[in-house]
Chain A
Amino acid sequence: MKVNQNCVGCAQCAAYCPHNAITVFGRASINRNCVECKTCVDYCPLGAISGDE
């Protein structure tokens, strides 16, 4: 998954990530636990996360 410039760091994605794959410190960053399930995409209020393709 990719995080774009729209991210403000609200951490909604991290709370809803079922794989504990997102940490947020001013901005979301996605770690190796990510299985590309894309749950975070829907929960981001700013459309800041997208798939890799």
Chain B
Amino acid sequence: MKAVIIGAGLGGLLSGAKLSKAGYEVEIFERLPFTGGRFTNLEHKGFQLSTGALHMIPHGARGPLASLLCDVGAGVTIIPSEPMSVIRNMAGEDIDFHDFRKEISLTKRVKLGTVLAYSLKFKPKDDISFRDWVMKYFEDEFLLRLADSFCGWSLSLRAADVPAREVLEIIDNMYRYKGPGIPLGGCGAVTDALCDVIRSNGGNIHTSSSVERILVDNGRVSGIFVDGKEVSADIVISNIGHMETTKLYKCSDEDYLAKLGKAKPSRGIKICIASDEALLGHSGALFTPYAQRINGINEVTNADPSLAPAGKHLIMSHQTTLSDNLEQEIALGLDDLKTLFPGKEYEVLMVQSYSGGWPVNRASSGSDTGNRTPVGNLYVVGDGAKGKGGIEVEGVALGVMNAMREIL
């Protein structure tokens, strides 16, 4: 059996590793000159920045991605974030995430316990947003800001744009799998390890090869057209999202197309800064609910000093993009950094923004469409086809597991 994979991002590489291990002949085509997509290192001035990710694996060494990596034999060391995360409160103090309840009144604290326990068990069925859910039960300024900060950091969305159901699934998963971690060597270590696995299983990865067409025969996929030739395949896995995939063949399934129209990519801005001294001093995320734009910050060099030149720290902030005036959004982010680290000396290494065809997530959390397509044996994986409640790359891993359950 032969599998062709379009795109060597995390989703494509996880699928390739799994299929090649199961005995499939695997051939991967990647348009860019390098593998890893939005989950690999980007070297700049001796710092290991990244093409996308903030070098974080949301559920660390015990989450779905870690278990899939282990399953396919990809050797990656994931350093647990310690503490898991910290919140900069209104007074400007950093408190442990677990102590967030101390910031609200005793009555609300008690109510939070019961409402959360109930809602985790009986998740809201309607489309109530996380923001409206928080308002409905608590009407609390701090909780609202924290909700925005959490959703902005982990999903690049405002709380108003995520279904409460989806956030509750995520909270469930946080209890199940625990907190985040940072892969030793950065996110590129993960995708590089997967490439090694695929090659050692006999698979082929072609870079600078853009797939131009998906070939369909009688409702079933028969191969692809790439680099001026046809490559036949028993199954084709697309790592480029549902919408982009439909542009590679003639799709006439109106219901499917209408559903895809609803999935919106999420946009965001990452600011990478360098400092001689540690600005956070730990390897967890710092949530910044009182900043104008920035949702959270990490300092990955506390987990892996090799991500920066000796004696330097790499700090990255993330914010969801709230308006179409990108320059102003970035300026507000830079302004936030000044307020958050008063009197500190740091250098802005790079400002990276993401949207549209190169987004933070192809399908914002809660709007994923699953792995199937109207074409037989053509599947979609990646962050346009995440599994339920899966944050970012954990969602990518859960989606790949779902697809593999159907295929293998």
State yes or no: do A and B come from one complex. yes
Does chain B have a CB within 8 A of A3?
A: no
Q: Chain A at the B interface: mostly helix, strand, loop or mixed?
A: loop
Q: Which residue of the partner chain, among A6, A8, A12, A46, contacts B42 with CB atoms under 8 Å?
A: A12
Does chain A have a CB within 8 A of B341?
A: no
Q: Kindly list chain A residues whose C-beta atoms are within 8 Å of the C-beta of B373.
A: none
Proximity bits, A28-45, B CB within 8 Å = 1, else 0: 000000000000001101
B253 → chain A closest CB, angstroms: 27
- Report the separation of the CA atoms of residues A15 and B43 in the bound assembly, to the nearest whole angstrom: 7
- Cβ-defined contact, B350 with A6, below 8 A: no
- Report the separation of the CA atoms of residues A27 and B330 in the bound assembly, to the nearest whole angstrom: 11
- Report the separation of the CA atoms of residues A46 and B356 in the bound assembly, to the nearest whole angstrom: 10
Does chain A have a CB within 8 A of B200?
A: no
- Report the separation of the CA atoms of residues A42 and B350 in the bound assembly, to the nearest whole angstrom: 20
- How many interface contacts (CB-CB < 8 Å) are there between A and B? 57
Q: Kindly list chain A residues whose C-beta atoms are within 8 Å of the C-beta of B90.
A: none
A37 → chain B closest CB, angstroms: 14
- Report the separation of the CA atoms of residues A45 and B356 in the bound assembly, to the nearest whole angstrom: 11
A28 → chain B closest CB, angstroms: 10
- Cβ-defined contact, B32 with A43, below 8 A: yes
- Interface size range on A against B: 10 to 19
Does chain A have a CB within 8 A of B49?
A: yes
- Cβ-defined contact, A6 with B326, below 8 A: no
- Cβ-defined contact, A11 with B352, below 8 A: yes
- Interface size range on B against A: 20 to 34
- Cβ-defined contact, B353 with A10, below 8 A: yes
Does chain B have a CB within 8 A of A51?
A: no
- Cβ-defined contact, B358 with A24, below 8 A: no
Residues facing A in B31-79 (CB within 8 A) are 31-33, 42-44, 49, 51-52
Does chain A have a CB within 8 A of B311?
A: no
Does chain A have a CB within 8 A of B327?
A: yes
Does chain B have a CB within 8 A of A18?
A: no
- Cβ-defined contact, B33 with A11, below 8 A: no
Does chain B have a CB within 8 A of A49?
A: no
B12 → chain A closest CB, angstroms: 14
Q: Can you offer 25 A-B residue contacts whose CB atoms are under 8 A?
A: A8-B353, A8-B358, A9-B351, A9-B353, A9-B354, A10-B51, A10-B352, A10-B354, A11-B42, A11-B351, A12-B42, A15-B42, A15-B44, A24-B351, A24-B352, A25-B330, A26-B327, A26-B353, A42-B32, A42-B33, A43-B32, A45-B31, A45-B357, A46-B356, A46-B357
Q: What 9 A-B pairs have minimum CB-CB distances, sorted nearest first? A: A26-B326, A9-B353, A11-B352, A15-B42, A8-B355, A45-B358, A15-B44, A26-B327, A46-B357
